[in-house]
Homo-oligomer: A and B are copies of this chain.
Amino acid sequence: MSSSAQKHDVFQAIADPTRREVLRLLAEKERPISEITAHFPMSRTAIAKHLQVLSEAELVHGQKVGREKIYRLQPEPLTELKQWLSFYEKFWENKLSILKHIVENSEDRRLQVIKSEETDKN
């Protein structure tokens, strides 16, 4: 892990499952490093580095309070992700509408089958 600021963007920051879990914990409430660490099977140092990556991406912000450093969520950079995603939504929505069409068609066919079976019975 490194540090030389301005290096990590949102996409990289959320790529790691541990960091995503950290975000989830901070979504609940702000927490000091040690409390966050308690939720993971790794060292405090490792978590501190993850927090630094998240901090570079400005997804969290840490403030020293007494001997603790309290981190809180800063979700704003996620808007960049949302923007990126919105470009692709039309594609999968198209696909879904095609799928919907297929489902509707097959549903029609199934109904026809049922209908013909009913006719067979009679």
- Tally A residues with Cβ within 8 Å of B: 25
Rounded to whole Å, the gap between the CB of A111 and the closest CB of chain B is 27
Other-chain residue from B14, B73, B88 in contact with A11 (beta carbon distance below 8 A): B14
Copies of this chain held together in the complex: 2
Q: Is A70 an interface residue (CB 8 A)?
A: no
Most buried by B among A11, A20, A81: A11
Give A84 to B79 CA distance when docked, in angstroms: 13
Contacts of A95 in B (CB 8 A): 75-76
Binary contact track A69-86/B, C-beta < 8 Å → 1, others 0: 000010110110110110
Rounded to whole Å, the gap between the CB of A33 and the closest CB of chain B is 21
